[in-house]
Structure 1
Amino acid sequence: MATIVVKQIGSPIRRPAKQRETLKGLGLNKMHRTRELEDTPSVRGMVNSIPHLVAIVEEKA
């Protein structure tokens, strides 16, 4: 199963509630934290909806 490593690079302060909830859904809540998540269309969609707050650090096959 393929995975991606996602890192939070932006603060959710003064962001819309939907963007904060997306961060929580990805399991991120503090700056510079990383999570290894399954590479699924739903996770990719969440990451693509907040590109100013998260970055894909690594993609594993």
Structure 2
Amino acid sequence: MAKIKITLVKSTIGAIPKHKKTVQALGLRKTNSSVEKEDNAAIRGMIHQISHLVKVEEV
């Protein structure tokens, strides 16, 4: 299965609590931190929810 790289490019300060929990669940902590995850529907749904905070690249 393909992998995707998710980078937090905007701070979660001021974000609604649900979005903060989604960022935390993806394993992102600080701005400009990155994680590699398997590309599946659950991860895509989380990314869609916080698309204004993250940058996504195919690996």
Is residue 2:22 matched to residue 1:36?
no
Q: Is 1:10 the counterpart of 2:10 in the alignment?
A: yes
Q: Could you say which residue in structure 1 is the equivalent of 2:58?
A: 59
In structure 1, the gaps of 5 or more residues are none
TM-score computed with the length of structure 2 as normaliser: 0.93
| Rounded Cα–Cα distance in structure 2 between residues aligned with 1:29 and 1:53 | 12
Within-5 A mapping of 1:17-28:
17-28=17-28
Gaps of 5+ in 2: none
Give the share of equivalent positions with the same residue, in percent.
Answer: 39
Q: Which amino acid aligns with 1:40?
A: N
Question: Aligned-pair distance for 1:2?
Answer: 1.0
- Please, what TM-score do these two structures have when normalized by structure 1? 0.90
Runs of 4+ in 1 over 3 A off after TM superposition: none
Root-mean-square deviation (CA, aligned residues, Å) is: 0.8
